[in-house]
Amino acid sequence: MSEQFDFLVLGGGIAGLFFALKAAEHGRVAILTKRARNECATRYAQGGIAAVLAKEDSIEAHVADTLNAGADLCREPSVRLCVSEGPERLRELCDYGVQFTRRADGLLDLTREGGHTRRRVAHADDLTGGEIERALIQACDERENIEFFPDCTAVELITLEKISRSAGRPNRCLGAYVLRPSGDIDTFLARVTVLATGGAGKVYLYTSNPDTATGDGVAMAYRAGARIANMEFYQFHPTCLFHPHAKSFLISEALRGEGGILRLKSGETFMEHYHPMGALAPRDVVARAIDSELKRSGDDCVWLDMTHLPTGYLIERFPNIHATCKAFGIDMTSQPIPVVPAAHYQCGGVDVDLDGQTSIPNLLAIGECACTGFHGANRLASNSLLEGVVFGHRAAKKAAELMDTPLDAIAPPWDAGEAVPSDESVLVTHNWEELRRLMWNYVGIVRTNKRLRRAQRRIEMLREEIREYYWRFNVTRDVIELRNIADVALLIVDSALRRKESRGLHTTLDYPDRDDSLRRDTLVTRGEIERPF
């Protein structure tokens, strides 16, 4: 079966939905989500969206904070674009119905997070992402030419290069093969295909990300021949709840912004030894500091202390975090919260220009799966939702320019070959667990060449096993996701081996210092991956 649309959006987070609303002014839009329509990383974003909205703030101050957090690897034009366009995009979110928390005078209640020198983070209590998802999905439902396809998983991108060997025909993206809930794989064709698939936190054993974060956009784009950038920079959020039954609950950076204190088991503070901003240092600094203290002490976690703040204020300002911690037997008003770092945000991704255009014509990438250069070597807190709306808007303008692209009906149907139903699903489970534990142990917050090479060799073996399984048996969502995280894992390892310095989120004991002669993006395309020794 074949579906045809003007715009095909893979992913239903803030970037994909914002793009869809803008693109719907020019044509028909399909939005594919792997699970429920609102199941994505945006939904779980607690802190907020950073934008220059206060009189005492300035564009230059936000630019400077972003460049500083990014460890001198941000692309400054991207930073200035996002920061300058941010206030208008936030106003558009309000127009779409997002209810941000406001003060008694009606102005937005702005908070401060790590790495920011001003209060500039707009929020909806501590459930900002959920409120944004609610409003944008409702706005999409009001557009007749936007159609959702939940529980659908993209298998592979369709490009002219893949389906046609005709000389002289320029390559471009035609759409994607999509696994339906029925198990059928259908063809979705579009003038423009947009990757808005989010990050890849599930490549690590411990993550704040939902189960959907399996690096699908990056993996598919890489296999299609697109240029990938800066995959060595994976951000570990310093403070995820440490509890045996808390799967991936994030303790927002806003708690530290409002006065939270990081302590050791003994009650001692420690962040003042690592950075002048203390607990409000950029995330890479705080995560490394916690990792170092835990390795030194042998403790399982550190503690985020909010008990010196008024009880009523904590319950009102952080209702979701307070209720969730209480459900796990932790009263944040009278007890410190046990926290540990966990994989949180992919700063690299599919390399794009200032319009979200990838190196493959008619294939755009936005949001966490894209590398716009905005985040550099470390993302500043609450800049992710900002990037999503700014590049969602710009990509929609670019997509409108591509409306004269013909809708091709030439893509062949999916060829399952001689695949049969699987009787070896245990291989998927085993490889999934081994891969994630391998990445956590060898490619985590602090790295060495020895660990990276060991990970590289094992990942290559796992990829071979996965490749054989993929072609032998019928495709399932679990197999697709396993294949994708294996490809992303290798990209992370390869990029880390290429960067022979420590910068931002990439810390290696073999090259502990920053080397400004290496202040450039790490770019990889299909066929360039290093082979293991």
pLDDT tens, position by position, 105-143: 999 999 999 899 999 999 999 999 999 999 999 999 999
Q: Residues of 100-123 as b/e, b for ≥16 C-beta within 10 angstroms?
A: bbeeeeeebbbbbbbbbebebbbb
Q: Per the residue annotation, which of 43, 75, 283, 499 is the catalytic one?
A: 283
State the number of CA atoms in the 13 A half-sphere of 376 facing the CB: 25
Crossing angle for the helix pair 449-472 and 477-498, to the nearest 10 degrees: 150
pTM reported for the whole predicted model: 0.94
**pLDDT the model gives residue 531:** 42
Decide: helix, strand or coil at residue 155.
Answer: strand
Q: What's the pLDDT score for residue 459?
A: 97
The CB density around residue 164, as the number of other CB atoms within 10 Å, is: 14
The confidence score (pLDDT) of residue 167 equals: 52
At what angle are helices 216-224 and 477-498 packed, to 10 degrees?
A: 70
Per CATH, the architecture of 237-341 is what? Alpha-Beta Complex (3.90)
Q: Looking at residue 493, what is its pLDDT?
A: 98
- Please state, in angstroms and as integers, the Cα–Cα distance from residue 6 to each residue in 12, 26, 188, 260, 463, following that order: 17, 9, 10, 48, 35
What DSSP character marks residue 169? P
* Residue ranges of the chain with per-residue pLDDT less than 70: 165-168, 408-409, 529-533
Would you identify the CATH topology of the domain 426-524? Answer: Methane Monooxygenase Hydroxylase; Chain G, domain 1 (1.20.58)
Q: Would you state the pLDDT for residue 147?
A: 98
Instruction: Provide the 8-state DSSP code for 524.
Output: E
Tell how far CA 230 is from the center of its chain: 13
Q: Write down the pLDDT at residue 425.
A: 81
- d(CA 428, CA 510) in angstroms, rounded, equals 34
Q: Residue 59 CB: number of other CB atoms within 10 A?
A: 13
Would you call 180 a catalytic residue per the annotation? no
Domain ranges for the chain:
237-341, 426-524
CB-based contacts of 522, cutoff 8 Å, min separation 6: 229, 230, 231, 232, 348, 495, 498, 499
